[in-house]
Structure 1
Amino acid sequence: MDLKTNLSSSSQDSISTGSSSGIGGSENISRDFSRLSLFSSGSQEEQFRCEGHAEYSLSCMKRYLQTEELCDVVLIAGNNGKRVPAHRLVLSAASEYFSAMFTGSLRESGEPEITLRDVNGDVLQAVVNYCYSGTIEIREDNVEVLLATACLMQLRKVVEACSRFLAQQLHPSNCLGIAVFAEHQSCSSLLQEANAFTSLHFMQVICNQEFLQLSEDQIASLLSSDELNVTSEENIFHALMSWIEHEPETRRPHLPRLLQLVKLPLLEPSFLVDHVENLVGTNPECQKLIMEAMKWHLLTERRQHMVSVRTRPRKATLGRLLVVGGMDKNKGATTIESYDPRCDHWSTAHHMNGRRLQFGIALMGDKLLVVGGRDGLKTLNTMECLDLETGTWTLLSPMNTYRHGLGVAVLGGPLYAVGGHDGWSYLNTVERYDPITRSWNYVTAMQSQRCSAGVAVLNGKLYAVGGRDGASCLRTVECYDPHTNKWTMCASMARRRGGVGVAVANGFLYAFGGQDAPANNPAASRFDCVERYDPGTDSWTTVTMLSTKRDTVAVCLFGDRLVAIGGYDGSHYLRSVEQYDPITNEWTILASLLTGRAGACVVPVNNSNKVINQTN
């Protein structure tokens, strides 16, 4: 029977038992109900949701907990015997630990009382209350015990909250202890933050008692990190020796193992003699490490065979990169960008005095020299000097020849300006600047005219690689010996390269990118290929290519890696930056420049130069 018929029948029965004098009579009412349709012919549904139902239900359960009604288990804290009643269902819903305990085949699943070893009673009560309310109080005096208990009971949100609380308390005096605690509790996020804090504030950390109390394995783990924020490897050596001398009798036997973690080849020879050798004594293993470092300094031509983890600098000891000027979408960048390898970040450090294109740069002490180029209208012979400490510019002695597209390098003490274009013709002339007399003088000219060649110093000689001679791009290479004042030809590259980037690493010369357009055809073929020159065999070989084609790319050695910056791919001025590892023959991507630019110049600046950022 349907609802309509049921209603009609029920109404008729009930009315017939009452008075028959109602309006319309019982028959009329019955007839009216029988015609009434309560629903349309289509099917309808409604999903009702009571707002706050879950919260209200949990609050009711909490009241039952407070009055100990319907509780079906008692948790006993092994630390002090405190008894905490609870409901298995609520605990299982909030914690995977309790869910596994009560729903599995464990012995505790049916026991009315369960003892939890090494659990604090007050914290146990707080954790149980959290299962009902979702709130818990975190304080300095309970956070460590609470975090350990939350880890045990797999209360992920509580673990995260405690980790954030401890991360906010990090200080050079406690970060090592927090890191050890986080590792013990398997709190990866807190461990990562504590280690990052320790690395950043390393110089303050080593002044605290926690550092001196580290175990041999703990200090070994700390000193092996390449993330430590130190200006020099000297800081690492002094930190190690302070730890050794805190308990010399028991710790000196560990010195040979721990000294391996100090990158001795990156220390100055004078420091090795005056400090390291005097302090480490005559231990043969330590002396072997000192000898390895000395060979690194003395036998530079053999460095490619001596590369190890000790010759790879920590990020903070690299200093910074400065990228200067270049052509951008506004027809000339005037900013100098600075790269910080610790945070993989570029920022604006300085501004040039004006637009200058196709120039050369060099670093002499804390002075950045910008040489020649063109201002968009005319070729220049001027040389400007930026004092990196004060951020001020001054004019120095001009070159004898106006040059743009020149190559610049420091060989010994003097600065060399190689080739280029004077606004009328391609040049093979070379002149040398003496920083003592502050004067320019010509040296022997190259055998070829070269503009936009790559220029670098390798094994005490000046190399000029590729470039353009007016008719075409060049494959040829020549090198200058300052002792004989002569240029000699070397093996040619496999490709013609104008706008080539050149840098030196581990006794090899590298040529990056470039283009080979003939003078009468501006449609250049741009390159992503990289060639390596071995002066020992006077030969070139091809290594792993760049990730993108780059003409007029800026390159330099930064630490033990070669960095390729910006350039032009035929359509765009590039912001992209990548670094090459000569040992693994692999490229990795670094943070992009703030401004895409081609024909920029780059120079590494070590930590002894206090670069003052002159930002926007």
Structure 2
Amino acid sequence: MASSSTQTLALQTDSSALNCFKEKLMAKIFRFYDEQSLTDVTFKVSNPTAHVPAHRLILAAASPYFENLFKGNKGNKPIIEINDIDSDIFERLITFCYTGQALITVTNVGAMLKAAIRLQLDDAITRCVEYLMAHIDEYTLHDAYMLERETRCEILKRKFIEYEIKNFMEISQSDEFLNFDVEKLQRILESDNLNITREEVAFEAIKRWFNYDVAAREKQLPLLIACLRLTQFDADFLLTHIQPLPGCELLAFKAISWISKPEARTKINMRFTEPRGVSAANCNEKTLLVVCSEETEINPKVLQYNKAEGKWQEYASIKYDHYGCRTILKDDNILFIGGNKNGAPSNIVRSWNIRSKTWQNLPAMKQARWRHCVVELDGKIYAIGGREGKINLTEDRAMSSVERYTTSDGWEFVSSLNDRRYNASAVTLNGKIYIMGGRNSGVPLKSVECYNPDSNTWTSCADMTECHWLHGVAVHKGHIYVVGCFSGNGTVERYDPQQNTWSKICSLEVGRGIIACASLDNKLWAIFFSVSGNKISVSVYNEENDRWEQKCAFPGHFVLSCYVVPVALLK
């Protein structure tokens, strides 16, 4: 037994000398193990049968399981049988007790984790979980969830929660998601770091989970709806989508009161009233990605904005020879839809992966179109309106047809627009599609339409104050902003969906050219041809002072589209 004087001496020993001593000691111990020297216990392990010699003192120090085993009656035997662990896995974990290292592979990580839990090797459990999460794509999500359920490993459960928060948009579409218990899903949805592009994504995920077993989950639904940032929806969405849900009437009423009566907010008891946070740690740091071309809109370049340096840099060059096509960001891909090649409209759809910079062909649209609009709503791609004629100023044939794409059903027509239009702009907001402006038979439009996917109908909204075509459009802080016009009109308008009204804000000195805009870092950005600078400029709207502040020049000519993407996607 160590005396207090020897303990004090050990504490006062120089740390570098102490570390050196420990390294030599462990090296000597491992050599004894490697040479099977001075071992005092042997394990007889099955499948296949093998004998594994070891040192009791080392194993007891490494694991409470071995400590208790050797203190018991069974531990006094020179040979101890282990029947519930494969010999290869057992030997690897015995080696871990000496070295702190083990060869973990995709094929053995499940068995390694189960055995490490059985032997109470906490460090080995942590190593297995870390390896599994780093190789989750190779292991498959289904098998990983099976392993979590079998082992009930708290470390794995915690890591899965982190993974699900970070990859929620993908996870929520998986079959495994439908079997999440309510406590697990509640913990995920409560997270301020939930990685979603908009709050509607979380709502749609809850609906999918709920519809999988309505009878069993009806009482649990309000618990999950309460985890949403309900104040980020507008009153129409709350009345249409939240209030009809069983047990959610009061939640909808509170949220509507919070939105419409700011003076009463201190009296309204709500769990979450602020939008979810943004953090670089969970891959939510965003930047701008722009598809642009030099002159003819074909063979575009992809540019990314470096926020740290305040400048643009080329990310990739793309070979795509369709004039007047439209693009949309879908997960890690940019979809190029339609366009006009050799004077004729096309129904082609191709997907360009941002990470791998490779192409993939997708099913073609039912109808060829160019100068149309494309948006994504609830995971479905919509192609709206456009031109069906050739590139000929005398043949200006606008379209009203709308078709929708899903991976399961391909392209299918839905209700047509009320007004034929091309060179319009469209966005999604609160579970609906809004399309505004454009041209019809050469005549500029100021009309606006709204599509409700639940009823498959287009309804007219309040007209814009002026006509806009090839204009920029973005959703920003619950409103729709329309920026400028191809003709050089720099008017900027803001639409309030709750009031169905348009109002003008500070205009831009826009020259003749295509305009793009986006909402990034809680600010409205616009990319446009500047009259004063005779070049493409980037400006940010200052809401407090109602003025536009110039950020930087832009090295492109035709801006085809602008997207907000995670910085991690471009690495």
TM-score (norm 2): 0.50
Deviation at 1:443, TM superposition (A): 0.5
2:318 corresponds to which of 321, 341, 352:
352
Deviation at 1:389, TM superposition (A): 1.7
In 2, distance between residues paired with 1:377 and 1:565? 28
Aligned to 1:460: 431
Residue identity opposite 2:485 in structure 1:
G
Aligned to 2:506: 544
Deviation at 1:581, TM superposition (A): 4.3
In 2, distance between residues paired with 1:422 and 1:545? 33
Aligned to 1:296: 229
In 2, distance between residues paired with 1:378 and 1:567? 28
- In the superposition, relative to structure 1, how do residues 484 and 541 fare at CA in structure 2: closer, same or farther (>3 Å)? same
Aligned to 2:412: 441
In 1, distance between residues paired with 2:331 and 2:438? 29
Q: Does 1:422 align with 2:388?
A: yes
Aligned to 1:519: none
1:342 corresponds to which of 294, 297, 308:
308
- In the superposition, relative to structure 1, how do residues 421 and 511 fare at CA in structure 2: closer, same or farther (>3 Å)? same
The residue matched to 2:385 in structure 1 has which SS?
Answer: strand
Deviation at 1:338, TM superposition (A): 1.2
In 2, distance between residues paired with 1:366 and 1:584? 36
1:385 corresponds to which of 351, 354, 371:
351
8 Å contact kept, 1:360–1:372: yes
In 2, distance between residues paired with 1:345 and 1:551? 21
Q: Does 1:559 align with 2:521?
A: yes
Aligned to 2:565: 605
Aligned to 1:144: none
- In the superposition, relative to structure 1, how do residues 597 and 299 fare at CA in structure 2: closer, same or farther (>3 Å)? closer
C-alpha offsets along residues 261-289 of structure 1, whole Å, 9 cap, x if unaligned?
Answer: xx947767999xxxxxxxxxxxxxxxxxx
Deviation at 1:465, TM superposition (A): 0.2
1:324 corresponds to which of 263, 283, 291:
291
In 2, distance between residues paired with 1:504 and 1:559? 13
Q: Does 1:588 align with 2:549?
A: yes
1:512 corresponds to which of 483, 490, 504:
483
The residue matched to 1:591 in structure 2 has which SS?
Answer: strand
Residue identity opposite 1:340 in structure 2:
N
- In the superposition, relative to structure 1, how do residues 480 and 331 fare at CA in structure 2: closer, same or farther (>3 Å)? closer
8 Å contact kept, 2:231–2:273: no
- In the superposition, relative to structure 1, how do residues 331 and 380 fare at CA in structure 2: closer, same or farther (>3 Å)? same
Aligned to 2:330: 364
C-alpha offsets along residues 342-372 of structure 1, whole Å, 9 cap, x if unaligned?
Answer: 3322111122223333222222221211111
Residue identity opposite 2:508 in structure 1:
L
In 1, distance between residues paired with 2:541 and 2:277? 13
Aligned residue runs from structure 1 range 199-238, under 5 A: none
C-alpha offsets along residues 219-263 of structure 1, whole Å, 9 cap, x if unaligned?
Answer: xxxxxxxxxxxxxxx99x9xxxxxxxxxxxxxxxxxxxxxxxxx9
Deviation at 1:490, TM superposition (A): 0.4
8 Å contact kept, 2:229–2:275: no
The residue matched to 2:346 in structure 1 has which SS?
Answer: coil
Aligned residue runs from structure 1 range 70-89, under 5 A: none
The residue matched to 2:443 in structure 1 has which SS?
Answer: coil
Deviation at 1:591, TM superposition (A): 2.6
Q: Percent identity?
A: 25
In 1, distance between residues paired with 2:470 and 2:412? 26
8 Å contact kept, 2:351–2:360: yes
Q: Does 1:528 align with 2:495?
A: no
Q: Which runs of 5+ in 2 are unaligned?
A: 1-161, 166-190, 203-223, 236-258, 266-271, 391-396
Deviation at 1:324, TM superposition (A): 1.1
Residue identity opposite 1:415 in structure 2:
I
The residue matched to 1:527 in structure 2 has which SS?
Answer: coil
Deviation at 1:376, TM superposition (A): 5.6
C-alpha offsets along residues 542-568 of structure 1, whole Å, 9 cap, x if unaligned?
Answer: 012124346420122223122212348
C-alpha offsets along residues 451-489 of structure 1, whole Å, 9 cap, x if unaligned?
Answer: 010100111110110000014100100110000000000
In 2, distance between residues paired with 1:410 and 1:588? 30
Aligned to 2:91: none
Residue identity opposite 1:474 in structure 2:
L
In 1, distance between residues paired with 2:456 and 2:538? 37
Residue identity opposite 2:400 in structure 1:
N
In 2, distance between residues paired with 1:342 and 1:324? 21
Aligned residue runs from structure 1 range 173-188, under 5 A: none
The residue matched to 1:420 in structure 2 has which SS?
Answer: coil
- In the superposition, relative to structure 1, how do residues 386 and 583 fare at CA in structure 2: closer, same or farther (>3 Å)? farther
Aligned to 1:477: 448
- In the superposition, relative to structure 1, how do residues 495 and 296 fare at CA in structure 2: closer, same or farther (>3 Å)? same
8 Å contact kept, 2:292–2:557: no
The residue matched to 2:563 in structure 1 has which SS?
Answer: strand
In 2, distance between residues paired with 1:546 and 1:382? 35
The residue matched to 1:528 in structure 2 has which SS?
Answer: coil
Deviation at 1:330, TM superposition (A): 6.0
Residue identity opposite 2:444 in structure 1:
C
Residue identity opposite 2:561 in structure 1:
C
In 2, distance between residues paired with 1:465 and 1:593? 26
8 Å contact kept, 1:456–1:503: yes
- In the superposition, relative to structure 1, how do residues 309 and 298 fare at CA in structure 2: closer, same or farther (>3 Å)? closer
In 1, distance between residues paired with 2:227 and 2:545? 25
C-alpha offsets along residues 157-185 of structure 1, whole Å, 9 cap, x if unaligned?
Answer: xxxxxxxxxxxxxxxxxxxxxxxxxxxxx
Residue identity opposite 1:457 in structure 2:
T
Deviation at 1:313, TM superposition (A): 4.8
8 Å contact kept, 1:313–1:560: no
The residue matched to 2:234 in structure 1 has which SS?
Answer: helix
Q: Which runs of 5+ in 1 are unaligned?
A: 1-233, 238-262, 272-290, 516-523
Deviation at 1:296, TM superposition (A): 3.4
8 Å contact kept, 1:265–1:310: no
- In the superposition, relative to structure 1, how do residues 360 and 488 fare at CA in structure 2: closer, same or farther (>3 Å)? same
- In the superposition, relative to structure 1, how do residues 471 and 458 fare at CA in structure 2: closer, same or farther (>3 Å)? same
C-alpha offsets along residues 42-65 of structure 1, whole Å, 9 cap, x if unaligned?
Answer: xxxxxxxxxxxxxxxxxxxxxxxx
Deviation at 1:332, TM superposition (A): 4.2
Deviation at 1:387, TM superposition (A): 1.2
8 Å contact kept, 1:553–1:567: yes
RMSD: 3.8
Deviation at 1:538, TM superposition (A): 0.9
8 Å contact kept, 2:302–2:315: yes
In 1, distance between residues paired with 2:533 and 2:546? 28
- In the superposition, relative to structure 1, how do residues 587 and 313 fare at CA in structure 2: closer, same or farther (>3 Å)? farther
Residue identity opposite 1:533 in structure 2:
Y
Q: Does 1:575 align with 2:512?
A: no
In 2, distance between residues paired with 1:331 and 1:267? 33
Aligned to 1:432: 404
The residue matched to 2:401 in structure 1 has which SS?
Answer: strand
How many positions carry a matched residue from both structures? 323
Deviation at 1:536, TM superposition (A): 1.1
In 2, distance between residues paired with 1:371 and 1:431? 12
